A = this chain, B = another copy of it.
Amino acid sequence: MKSLTHQEEIIDKYSVIPIYYQLTKILEKCILDGRLKPGEALPPEHEIAEKYGISRMTVRRAISELIGVGMVYSQKGKGNFVARPRLDDFVFELVNFYEEIQKRGMKSNAKLLGVKIVRADELLAKKLEVEINTTCLYIRMVLSADDEPLVYENKYVVYSKQKPILETELKDPSLSNLASIHGDHFPIISKRVLQASIATEEESLILGTGLNAPVFVVEQTVYDTGKKPIGWGKSIYRGDRYKLTSYIGWPVDDIG
């Protein structure tokens, strides 16, 4: 077995830190150091087990952690191999508006522009896969941070039950929450489509931007377990205030 071990890389079987976790970190270090290069095989599981005096199941647990984060892949009958980092996919993430704003120490505010019962027009009926004229709950609102408007939201929920609109639900008027209250099933899938666009006149008025301002348009559809749409919304994000950031690759503690 190729020597991979530095002096400090030993396993303390009586530590409070699980053995599999210690081994995961040792192997991760070997890979990031370059002692194990992409494409190269890890030592066989039984060898690692023997070398550290631990069970093969524990070795497998350690390796499966690395497989989980994409640093290692495994081929039955051949061995475990160091993966090549995939950096060419985009994965953009934008977290919950309220959490994000508050994490930044800003004051978040949601202003209700209107709550109505409406009948579905052709577009909405298509989006929600219901008949035209189906009764829907319609909510318009503006989300602000430190009194600066950032997002303009329009959302619709199929409104089969004659439930009253409660104050509590207007405190968390996220589409998935609305859908879980006013639908028959709780939502399990959310689909979002993001586009770059130019603010319409109405949108630039509400968001306080100039005409022709760049915006993100995000359409969201929420589905129930039967893949039936139960809510649909369109949100306009100010392009001068929103960025989507994504990190991809092997795990590193943090980046400056």
Which A residues are closer than 8 A to B by beta carbons?
A: 32-34, 38, 68, 84-85, 87-96, 174-176, 185-198, 212, 214-216, 218, 222-223, 225, 227, 237, 239, 242-250, 252, 255-256
Q: A68-B68, A93-B89 are in contact. Are A191 and B239 (CB under 8 A)?
A: no
Q: A216-B196, A227-B255, A249-B188 are in contact. Are A90 and B93 (CB under 8 A)?
A: yes
Copies in the complex: 2
Residues of B within 8 A of A243 (CB): 193-195
Q: Which residue of B lies closest to A197 (CB)?
A: B214
Residues of B within 8 A of A87 (CB): 174-176, 187, 189-190, 222
**What is the CB-to-nearest-CB distance from A220 to chain B, in angstroms, rounded to a whole number?**
9
25 contacts between A and B (CB under 8 A): A68-B68, A85-B187, A87-B174, A87-B190, A92-B194, A188-B252, A189-B247, A189-B249, A190-B249, A192-B248, A193-B243, A194-B245, A195-B239, A196-B214, A196-B215, A196-B216, A196-B239, A196-B242, A197-B239, A198-B198, A198-B212, A223-B249, A227-B252, A227-B255, A227-B256
**What is the CB-to-nearest-CB distance from A123 to chain B, in angstroms, rounded to a whole number?**
17
**What is the CB-to-nearest-CB distance from A246 to chain B, in angstroms, rounded to a whole number?**
5
Contacting A89 at CB < 8 Å: which of B32, B85, B95, B237?
B95
Residues of B within 8 A of A250 (CB): 188-189
Q: Beyond A85-B189, A87-B174, A192-B246, list 13 extra A-B contacts (CB 8 Å).
A: A68-B68, A90-B92, A90-B94, A188-B252, A192-B245, A193-B245, A193-B246, A194-B244, A195-B244, A196-B237, A198-B198, A198-B212, A214-B214
